[in-house]
């Protein structure tokens, strides 16, 4: 199965009135892949996912999921995929167990088959003790767990997760990602959006969407090495903040930000590193260390956005 | 149609409905309150409290008063000793009617002269007053007739054959009892209101909360989703109808003249109109508040035009045409026909067919619009 195409988007476009939320994007997701979808607020991530799930009609373009045309055969797509929406909307007046039974029933699992799946997932996601609790009274993180369990209950081959970990505590986030990696090892294809770039490192490939267009796409390591990523320099100094002040607006600097106790500055090309050094020296600021490093994804994307041009 | 999915939605809807105590209470109590309120607050035209000033105080005058009491329309509650006393009771609203019998009542009768008995009626309630007056007149003439016959018989003449005997009779509801008229109306109104409102809100609320999207990403079809949502509402509707009928029979002593089975079948037909209207409104309104206003916008005129309050036959012609566009009109006619007149499908089939037609049109439009908005 690996290598086959699970999702194929061709010039997918969605307009809301005159506003173009998704602007003719094309991409492919391979079977068993964890495909991360990154981008600032309002970039068009959720809109894209909703078109792929058959919830939203594209204004133009087409999409294929698991070999079925989403517009022509939505039921086939819906039966075989799972969608966890960004809000992870639940029915506040239904209990944990009632939710799981509802989803199981909607996806064609009945009787003993349904009971087993519900029990299995309640155990797996740590909700068994809360089975009779109303969803409306669950803490935020548990709501996400429940939504995830409901999405995965029917063993979909393709899973769309829209910010599954927002509002989830760090420990649970790690559990979520263990589960996602596990799914992908079992052959499930996962398309996931997140604003946590440490999570993005788990993805096989990443797409960065900005203003409705995909402006960078590739494996995390590729993106960091790409010339378009620029060169990231780590600076260690006791005067980090003053250095930040000094270089932030320099024309050759794409982005500069504090990164723990050090300062990361991304410049356009490798010869810009010397100019950076000169700028700092000119201000008479002391530096312990100034050296190119492998950028973090945060550096890469900060750079891409600042450059404001497609990679 | 995948019935398992329909059932899954129905189970969800039942669970949610019965979990919300306040909605359950409101839905179940509404028909009870309506029936009881209308049943008690409506003016029962019978047993009107009456004040009497009998200046004659004879066997004859007492016989006349008995005739009044026997009619069941007058109930002698007060005895006055002056005209002032009579006026005071009527002015004070304690009595609707006053009867004054002159002192020479018996004497005049014996002299074969016509005594004048005064019956005064408080006409602020026109319906009750009109009924009371015409009943009083009828009592007058029947008492006179009886006395004439008696006198003729006493003088040895055989009783004459009366040539013409006109008797006005209130058909179907001989006692002119309001409950009998109101029960079908309340039943129709509660059905229309509750079903339209509940079907509207089950969709609109789900859309506002974003949970409708959760259902749409599942493989369920819009027709299955709608049916799953409507089935529990039908159960609630039947519970309401049954409550109203039981209350009418065991509390107000109304007897259902026609076939209960036919009544329940008509309710089923009417569901298409009410649930369809609710669904239709849910596809038009953008917010819950808007939807609530739309429900009122549709239901208020249909209540006024349907003949629930004003008889359709008494409306201006143009309004009559409009009232024939209101499905509630047909439903009301059918329900009144079954409960009050005891007529069957032989008489009611045109109304039932029209109700089916309207139900089909409304429901089909609603389903099409719902499907479009979802996809
Ligand atoms: N139903 C709608 N009507 C009008 N505009 C919409 C609608 N849905 C989304 N948009 C707009 O489309 C753009 C993209 O929204 P989308 O939700 O896809 O962004 P996103 O990348 O998921 O953002 P976030 O990270 O905040 O979730 C936004 O500007 C949003 O305001
Ligand atoms: Mg989003």
Note the pLDDT of residue A304.
75
Residue B166 has pLDDT above 70, yes or no: no
Domain of B18 in residue numbering reads as 3-41+176-374
For B32, B232, B362, the CA distances from B18, given in Å and listed in that order, are 18, 10, 28
In sequence order, the 6+-apart residues with CB closer than 8 A to the CB of B186 are: B31, B34, B35, B38, B244
- Using most ligand atoms within 8 A of CB, pick from A17, A18, A40, A47 the residue to mutate for ligand 1: A47
Task: Tell me the ligand closest to A37's alpha carbon.
Answer: 1
* CA-A195 nearest atom, ligand 1: 25
Residue B22, Cα to own-chain centre: how many angstroms?
27
CATH superfamily of A5-223: P-loop containing nucleotide triphosphate hydrolases (3.40.50.300)
Structure-token pair, residue A214: 């995909």
Going from N- to C-terminal start, the domains of chain A cover 5-223, 231-294
**Which candidate, A216, A197, A203, A212, places its Cα nearest to that of A295?**
A197
- Please enumerate in sequence order all residues whose Cβ is within 8 A of that of A268, keeping only pairs 6 or more positions apart, or say none: A230, A231, A252, A254
Q: Do B15 and A98 touch (CB under 8 A)?
A: yes
Distance from CA of A175 to the nearest CA of B (A): 24
B156 occurs within a structural domain:
no
Token pair 């939605």 in the structure block, residue: B9
Q: Please report which confidence band the pLDDT of residue A91 belongs to, taking 50, 70 and 90 as the band edges.
A: very high
B162 assigned to some structural domain: no
Tell me what pLDDT residue B170 has.
53
> Phi-psi category of A204—alpha, beta or left, where left has phi over 0 and alpha has psi -120 to 50?
alpha
Note the helical H segments in chain A.
Answer: 45-52, 74-80, 96-106, 111-124, 140-152, 170-185, 197-200, 220-225, 240-247, 272-282, 297-307
Query: How many other C-beta atoms lie within 10 A of the C-beta of residue A219?
Result: 12
> Between 1.10.10.10, 3.40.50.720, 3.30.70.980, 2.40.50.140, what CATH number should domain A231-294 receive?
3.30.70.980
Interhelix angle B345-374/B222-250, rounded to 10 degrees, is 140
Distance from CA of B228 to the nearest CA of A (A): 11
Alpha helices for chain B (secondary structure H) = 3-19, 21-41, 59-70, 83-91, 105-110, 126-154, 178-209, 211-216, 222-250, 260-284, 288-305, 317-323, 327-336, 345-374
Both tokens of A189, joined, read: 């294809």
The pLDDT of residue A174: 92
Q: Check whether residue B11 and residue B90 sit in a common domain.
A: no
CB contact under 8 A, A78 and B12: no
Q: Which residues contact A179 (CB under 8 A, 6 or more apart)?
A: A124, A125, A148
Name residues whose C-beta falls within 8 Å of residue B148's C-beta, 6 or more positions apart in sequence. Answer: none
Q: Cα of A49 to ligand 2 centre, how many Å?
A: 9
pTM for the whole thing? Answer: 0.78
Q: How many residues does chain A have?
A: 311
Residues B182 and B297 in one domain: yes
State the smallest CA–CA distance between residue A146 and chain B in angstroms: 13
Q: Is the pLDDT of residue B173 over 60?
A: no
The answer on B298 and B233 residing in a single domain is yes
Residue B171 lies in a domain: no
Q: Yes or no: say if A269 and A231 are a contact pair by the CB < 8 Å rule.
A: yes
What's the B9 CA to ligand 2 centre distance in angstroms? 28
> B340 and B235: one domain?
yes
A170: its two tokens: 């760090």
Separation in Å, CA A238 to CA A144, A286, A291, B277: 42, 8, 16, 72
Instruction: Specify if B158 maps to a domain.
Output: no
Which among B68, B56, B53 has a CA at the least distance from the CA of B107? B56
B190 shares a domain with B135 = no
Write the pLDDT tens digit of every residue in A218-264. Answer: 999 888 887 777 888 888 888 888 888 888 888 888 888 888 888 88
**Ligand 1: residues within 6 Å at CB?**
A 16, 21, 39, 41-47, 86
Please give the pLDDT value at position B167. Answer: 47
Type and span of the H or E element at B201: helix B178-209
Both tokens assigned to A232: 């990231």
Q: Are residues B332 and B370 in the same domain?
A: yes
Q: Which of B102, B134, B149 is the last residue of a domain?
A: B149
Residue B57 CB coordination number (10 Å): 12
Q: Is residue B168 part of a domain?
A: no
Same domain, B266 and B340: yes
Kind plus residue range of the DSSP H or E element containing B53: strand B48-54
Do you know the residue count of chain B?
375
CB A66 within 8 A of CB A77: yes
Residue with tokens 């267009």: A213
Alpha helices (H) in B42-177, listed in sequence order: 59-70, 83-91, 105-110, 126-154
- B26 and B108 in a single domain? The answer is no
Most B CBs within 10 A among A50, A98, A106, A117, hence the mutation to make, goes to A106
Do B116 and B186 belong to one domain?
A: no
Atom 30 of ligand 1 has which residue's CA nearest to it? A42
From the list A94, A107, A108, which residue is nearest B15 (CB)? A94
Residue B83 belongs to some domain of the structure: yes
Largest CA-CA distance found in chain B, in angstroms, rounded: 97
Q: Is residue B16, in this structure, part of any structural domain at all?
A: yes
In a domain, B79, yes or no: yes
Q: Are strands A205-210 and A189-193 parallel, antiparallel or unpaired?
A: unpaired
B235 and B128 belong to one structural domain = no
Whether B220 and B356 map to the same domain: the answer is yes
**Average pLDDT of chain B, as a whole number:** 84
Strand partners, B101: B54
Examine the domain organization and report whether B117 and B215 are in the same domain. Answer: no
Give me the half-sphere count of Cα atoms (radius 13 Å) on the Cβ side of residue B102. 11
pLDDT of B171 reads: 56
B213 contacts A55? CB cut-off 8 A: yes
B261: tokens are 């089975």
Return the minimum-mean-pLDDT range out of A1-5, A10-14, B209-213: A1-5
How many structural domains does chain B have? 2
Is the ipTM reported for this complex over the cut 0.85? no
What is the Cα gyration radius of chain B? 28
Least confident segment among B130-134, B240-244, B326-330: B130-134
- B210-269: per-residue pLDDT in tens? 899 889 889 999 889 999 999 999 999 999 999 989 988 888 778 888 899 999 999 999
Residue with the nearest Cα to atom 31 of ligand 1? A42
Give the model's pLDDT for residue A239.
84
- Interface of B to A at Cβ within 8 Å reads 2, 4-5, 7-9, 11-12, 15-16, 19-20, 209-211, 213-221, 375
Helix %, strand %, coil % of chain A (to 5)? 40, 30, 35
Residue B112's domain is classified under what CATH number?
3.40.1710.10
Of B111, B133, B149, the residue that ends a domain is B149
């Amino acid at each position: 199965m690996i290598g086959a195409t699970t999702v194929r988007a061709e010039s997918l476009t969605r307009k809301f009135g005159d506003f173009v939320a998704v602007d003719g994007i094309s991409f492919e997701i391979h079977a068993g892949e964890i495909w991360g979808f990154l981008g600032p607020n309002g970039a068009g991530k959720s809109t894209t996912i909703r078109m792929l799930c058959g919830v939203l009609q594209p204004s133009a373009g087409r999409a294929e999921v698991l070999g079925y045309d989403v517009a022509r055969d939505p039921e086939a797509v819906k039966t075989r995929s799972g969608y966890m929406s960004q809000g992870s909307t639940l029915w506040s007046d239904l209990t944990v167990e009632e939710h799981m039974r509802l989803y199981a029933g909607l996806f064609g699992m009945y009787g003993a088959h349904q009971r087993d799946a519900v029990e299995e997932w309640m155990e797996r996601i740590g909700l068994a003790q809360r089975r009779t609790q109303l969803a409306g009274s669950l803490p935020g993180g548990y709501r996400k767990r429940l939504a995830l369990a409901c999405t995965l209950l029917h063993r979909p081959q393709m899973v769309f997760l829209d910010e599954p970990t927002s509002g989830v505590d760090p420990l649970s986030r790690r559990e979520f990602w263990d589960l996602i990696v596990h799914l992908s090892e079992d052959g499930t294809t996962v398309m996931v959006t997140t604003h946590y770039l440490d999570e993005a490192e788990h993805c096989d490939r990443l797409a960065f969407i900005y203003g409705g267009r995909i402006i960078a796409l590739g494996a995390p390591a590729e993106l960091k090495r790409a010339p378009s990523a620029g060169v990231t320099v780590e600076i260690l100094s006791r005067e980090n903040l003053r250095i930040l002040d000094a270089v932030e607006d320099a024309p050759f600097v794409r982005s500069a930000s504090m990164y723990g106790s050090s300062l990361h500055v991304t410049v356009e090309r490798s010869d810009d590193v010397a100019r950076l050094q000169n700028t700092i020296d000119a201000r008479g600021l002391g530096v312990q260390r100034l050296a190119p490093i492998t950028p973090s994804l945060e550096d890469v994307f900060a750079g891409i956005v600042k450059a404001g041009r497609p990679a | 149609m995948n019935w398992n999915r329909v059932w899954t939605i129905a189970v969800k809807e039942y669970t949610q409905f019965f979990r919300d105590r306040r909605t359950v209470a409101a839905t179940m109590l509404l028909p009870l309150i309506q029936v009881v309120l209308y049943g008690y607050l409506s003016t029962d035209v019978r047993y009107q409290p009456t004040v009497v000033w009998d200046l004659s105080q004879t066997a004859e005058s007492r016989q006349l008063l008995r005739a009044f009491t026997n009619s069941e329309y007058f109930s002698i509650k007060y005895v006055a000793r002056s005209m002032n006393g009579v006026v005071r009771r009527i002015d004070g609203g304690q009595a609707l009617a006053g009867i004054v019998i002159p002192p020479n009542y018996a004497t005049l009768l014996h002299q074969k002269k016509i005594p004048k008995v005064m019956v005064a009626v408080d006409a602020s309630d026109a319906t009750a007053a009109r009924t009371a007056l015409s009943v009083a007149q009828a009592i007058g003439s029947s008492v006179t007739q009886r006395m004439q016959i008696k006198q003729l018989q006493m003088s040895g003449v055989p009783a004459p054959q009366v040539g013409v005997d006109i008797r006005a009779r209130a058909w179907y509801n001989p006692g002119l009892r309001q409950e009998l008229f109101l029960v079908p109306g309340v039943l129709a109104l509660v059905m229309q209101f509750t079903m339209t409102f509940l079907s509207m809100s089950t969709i609109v609320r789900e859309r506002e909360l974003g949970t409708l999207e959760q259902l749409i990403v599942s493989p369920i079809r819009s027709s299955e989703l709608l049916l799953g949502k409507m089935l529990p509402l039908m159960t609630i509707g039947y519970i309401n109808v049954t409550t109203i009928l039981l209350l009418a029979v065991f509390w107000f002593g109304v007897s259902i003249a026609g076939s209960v089975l036919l009544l329940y079948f008509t309710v089923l037909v009417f569901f298409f109109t009410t649930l369809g209207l609710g669904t239709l409104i849910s596809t038009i309104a953008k917010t819950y508040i808007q939807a609530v206003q739309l429900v009122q916008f549709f239901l208020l005129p249909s209540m006024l035009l349907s003949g629930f309050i004003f008889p359709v036959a008494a409306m201006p012609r143009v309004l009559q045409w409009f009232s024939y566009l209101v499905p509630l009109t047909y439903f009301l006619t059918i329900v009144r026909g079954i409960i009050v007149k005891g007529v069957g499908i032989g008489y009611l089939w045109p109304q039932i067919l029209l109700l089916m037609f309207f139900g089909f049109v409304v429901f089909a439009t609603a389903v099409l619009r719902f499907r479009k908005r979802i996809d």
